[in-house]
């Protein structure tokens, strides 16, 4: 375990934050970030830290203050905004109480903040308050948990760390644990840290560096102990030990191909039924991991045991649930057998989960696993958003590593189910997940062909704003990257993904959808949109131009839909196809035969698809748009091509075209890509039981009224 403290780093932190927050807080933030920088110490909002200082009130009173990390904040990026300042003298008095419920505790914490806008302080705030030291650091270090999560964890920790630490059995985090830790320290004032079995490590000191150094030293001692014990032990079973694998450990097929094949099946089976006919399922987004080490462990004899054992520390439960689902020897060569296998494993999982969560309202219980281990294909983690799925996957990967290490020195052991259930469903913990719930399209995957163009990118942006995971499918990597970046800048990381896809090429479309399925698990909304235009009167039409337009606009729509539909059908979750057709379908104009014919064909394909797919609960609708010119940020490639000639056909200058199109509609509306995006969201949210219909987004053009 590397000690990351440097004089220059500390100095820089003091010059960065010192002037506004003071040196004590600056160094607090510095070592908090050092802890956060090591994923072997804390992961995603895990762990917490504090410093005791004073503040001066508006009445010039100097008040003793505890600055503690806000609940759910990441140590790695902790800034002054992530620290909550509380009335320390008052908090200390709470120690005299015999009991304090979670609700009371949160109320006492929130009503004794010095900044009304501060985040809710960590669940472990009182632990920090009751210890006398200026700095307190708490982590859930992998190496420590390797030792604590054992049948004789107490003895192992004592062997590894000697008398430098006190050891506490598992106690529910919150008021109870805070009192126990303070009592333990009072009884052992010589220790530099306290080990919480099945939970983590607390160290302390009068300055930031001492507390941090002690933390790293103790974790390092755990690592050394583990290495020595594992090397000397008779059953050294580490990740990567091929000897233990059944079937000689032979991997016959590419894990990526297997993942693409199985992901839509998994996604369909784990979707949570809602009982609402219009929105029958809560869907999840996938994060798939298949590093070689991981594949080997999942394939090994320990993989199944690991899936069936509990989490490393209770803080992980809200992301991973207590157990992973393991599907033994998947029938990769027979899809229907594979589906039956997964269905049966899932049914058992749900049954066990209901038995575990006996005291919970079963109607509201989502009993689907968050983590699935599939020998051959890897680790499949699920969440309501991509961000949540990534957090789950990071934790799951560490969990597998620690369990594998723990098994090398003694059987890995976790807390009893009753303790796990208590933490998983604790309102204080569940509240941490709230920020992941937003938007009418949450959990839905929207794929837009031509997603990097003027209309496509606006549709992608609007869908991402509504909570969808948006896939920008297009040709031209740079443009795709730009659009994905701009969506993630405004909607947050993990809201968009780019895929190279030439919709006129079968192989490219197939590969593109495979990439999509591995990235997020499946597809819910298809928006065929990639198109080109060409201006020529029929008498002058070149066959090659006509073919090119038909190839992209008609064959492209067909191929894009075909590949997407195949995935939707395997998911069995229904879905939506929203075809970007054109005002031209009902109201054609001269010199635009190739474009109008191709769009009319795409529109007609949509009607046929509506008939064919209704039984699969896939709705197909069309949007007839008129003249979207793009904006200052994104010009329309289509209008750049046809603008000059369309202007000529109408005896106008090119610059006058947008105004011409605005004036020719009843509402005098300028049509934007965002308007098309809003129409996609309307259909994709199943707001009305509609399929096979056409929605004009054209400001009202009489000759193009649907009929």
Kindly report the CA angle at 398 between 173 and 256, in degrees rounded to 5? 140
Site for Zn ion in 335-364 (CB under 5 A): none
Q: Report in angstroms how near the CB of residue 47 gets to Zn ion at its nearest.
A: 6
Q: Which is nearer to Zn ion, 142 or 296 (CB)?
A: 142
Q: Report in angstroms how near the CB of residue 67 gets to Zn ion at its nearest.
A: 18
**221 contacts 192 by C-beta, under 8 angstroms:** no
Name the DSSP letter for residue 311.
Answer: -
> From CA 503, how far away is CA 379, in angstroms rounded?
30
Site for Zn ion in 216-255 (CB under 5 A): none
Burial bucket for residue 30 (CB in 10 Å: 0-12, 13-18, 19+):
buried
Q: Which is nearer to Zn ion, 200 or 255 (CB)?
A: 200
Q: Report in angstroms how near the CB of residue 194 gets to Zn ion at its nearest.
A: 12
Q: Report in angstroms how near the CB of residue 137 gets to Zn ion at its nearest.
A: 11
Residues β-bridged to residue 200 = 196
Q: Report in angstroms how near the CB of residue 532 gets to Zn ion at its nearest.
A: 57
Q: Which is nearer to Zn ion, 121 or 200 (CB)?
A: 200
Q: Report in angstroms how near the CB of residue 122 gets to Zn ion at its nearest.
A: 9
Q: Which is nearer to Zn ion, 127 or 388 (CB)?
A: 127
Residues β-bridged to residue 527 = 448
Q: Which is nearer to Zn ion, 200 or 575 (CB)?
A: 200
Consecutive H or E run containing 178: helix 175-187
Q: Which is nearer to Zn ion, 194 or 286 (CB)?
A: 194
Site for Zn ion in 611-650 (CB under 5 A): none
**184 contacts 166 by C-beta, under 8 angstroms:** yes
Q: Which is nearer to Zn ion, 136 or 565 (CB)?
A: 136
Would the CA dihedral through 311, 317, 320, 326 be positive or negative?
Answer: positive
Distance of CA 684 to the CA centre of its chain: 21
> From CA 42, how far away is CA 307, in angstroms rounded?
21
Q: Which is nearer to Zn ion, 165 or 552 (CB)?
A: 165
Chain residue whose CB lies nearest Zn ion: 200
Q: Report in angstroms how near the CB of residue 30 gets to Zn ion at its nearest.
A: 21
> From CA 578, how far away is CA 247, in angstroms rounded?
46
Q: Report in angstroms how near the CB of residue 44 gets to Zn ion at its nearest.
A: 13
Q: Report in angstroms how near the CB of residue 377 gets to Zn ion at its nearest.
A: 33
For β-strands 445-449 and 281-282, DSSP reports them as: unpaired
Q: Which is nearer to Zn ion, 157 or 559 (CB)?
A: 157
Burial bucket for residue 689 (CB in 10 Å: 0-12, 13-18, 19+):
exposed
**Residue 556 CB contacts under 8 Å (≥ 6 apart), including other chains:** 449, 503, 504, 528, 530, 531
Total binding residues toward Zn ion, as defined by CB under 5 A? 1
> From CA 33, how far away is CA 89, in angstroms rounded?
27
Site for Zn ion in 141-200 (CB under 5 A): 200
Note the residues at the interface with Zn ion (CB under 5 A): 200
């Amino acid at each position: 375990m590397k000690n990351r403290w440097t004089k220059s780093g500390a100095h820089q932190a003091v010059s960065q934050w010192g002037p506004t927050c003071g040196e004590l807080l600056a160094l607090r933030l510095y070592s908090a970030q050092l802890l956060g920088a090591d994923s072997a110490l804390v992961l995603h909002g895990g762990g917490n830290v504090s410093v005791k200082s004073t503040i001066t009130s508006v009445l010039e009173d100097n008040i003793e203050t505890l600055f503690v990390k806000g609940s759910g904040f990441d140590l790695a990026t902790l800034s002054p905004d992530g620290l909550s300042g509380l009335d320390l003298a008052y908090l200390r008095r709470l120690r005299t109480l015999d009991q304090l419920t979670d609700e009371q505790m949160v109320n006492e914490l929130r009503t004794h903040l010095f900044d009304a806008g501060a985040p809710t302080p960590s669940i472990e705030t009182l632990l920090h308050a009751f210890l006398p030291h200026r700095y307190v650091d708490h982590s859930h270090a992998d190496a420590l948990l390797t030792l604590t999560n054992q049948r004789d964890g107490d003895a192992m920790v004592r062997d590894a760390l000697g008398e430098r630490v006190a050891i506490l059995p598992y106690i529910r985090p919150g008021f109870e644990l805070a009192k126990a830790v303070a009592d333990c320290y009072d009884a052992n004032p010589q220790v530099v840290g306290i080990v919480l079995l099945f939970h983590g490590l607390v160290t302390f000191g009068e300055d930031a560096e001492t507390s941090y150094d002690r933390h790293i030293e103790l974790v390092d001692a755990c690592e050394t102990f583990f290495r020595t014990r594992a090397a000397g032990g008779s059953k050294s079973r580490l990740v990567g030990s091929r000897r233990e694998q059944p079937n000689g450990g032979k991997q016959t097929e590419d894990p990526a191909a297997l993942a693409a094949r199985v992901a839509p099946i998994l996604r369909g089976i784990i979707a949570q039924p809602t009982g609402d006919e219009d929105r029958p399922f809560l869907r999840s987004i996938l994060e798939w991991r298949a590093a070689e080490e991981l594949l080997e462990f999942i394939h090994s004899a320990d993989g199944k045991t690991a899936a069936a054992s509990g989490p490393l520390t209770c803080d992980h439960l809200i992301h991973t649930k207590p157990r992973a689902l393991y599907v033994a020897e998947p029938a990769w060569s027979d899809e229907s057998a594979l589906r039956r296998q997964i269905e049966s494993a899932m049914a058992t999982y749900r049954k066990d989960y209901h038995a575990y969560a006996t005291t919970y309202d079963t109607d509201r219980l989502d009993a689907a696993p968050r983590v699935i281990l599939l020998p051959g294909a890897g680790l499949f983690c699920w969440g309501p958003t991509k961000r949540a799925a990534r957090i789950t996957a990071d934790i799951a990967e560490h969990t597998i590593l620690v369990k594998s290490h723990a098994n090398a020195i003694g059987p890995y052991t976790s807390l009893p189910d009753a303790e796990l259930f208590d933490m998983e469903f604790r309102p204080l913990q569940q509240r941490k997940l709230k920020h992941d719930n937003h938007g009418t399209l949450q959990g839905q995957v929207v794929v837009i062909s031509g997603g990097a163009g003027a209309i496509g990118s606006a549709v992608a942006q609007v869908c991402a704003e509504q909570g969808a995971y948006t896939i920008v499918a297009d040709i031209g990597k740079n443009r795709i990257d730009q659009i994905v970046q701009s969506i993630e800048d405004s909607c947050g990381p993990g809201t968009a993904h780019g895929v190279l896809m030439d919709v006129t090429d079968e192989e490219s479309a197939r590969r593109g959808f495979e990439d999509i399925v591995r990235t997020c698990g499946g597809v819910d909304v298809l928006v065929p949109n990639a198109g080109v235009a060409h201006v020529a009167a029929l008498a002058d039409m070149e066959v090659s131009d006509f073919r090119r337009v038909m190839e992209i606009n008609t064959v492209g729509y067909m191929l894009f839909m075909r590949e997407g539909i195949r995935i939707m059908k395997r998911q069995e979750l229904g879905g939506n196809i929203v075809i970007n057709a054109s005002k031209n379908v009902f109201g054609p104009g001269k010199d635009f035969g190739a474009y109008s014919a191709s769009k009319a064909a795409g529109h007609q394909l949509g009607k046929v698809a509506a008939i064919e797919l209704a039984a699969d609960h896939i709705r197909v609708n069309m949007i007839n748009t008129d003249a979207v010119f793009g904006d200052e940020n994104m010009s329309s490639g289509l209008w750049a091509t046809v603008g000059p000639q369309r202007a000529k056909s109408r005896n106008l200058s090119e610059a006058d075209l947008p105004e011409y199109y605005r004036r020719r509609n009843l509402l005098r509306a300028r049509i934007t890509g965002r308007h098309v995006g809003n129409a996609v969201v309307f259909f994709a949210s199943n707001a009305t039981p509609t399929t096979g219909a056409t929605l004009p987004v054209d400001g009202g053009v009489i000759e193009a009224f649907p009929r």
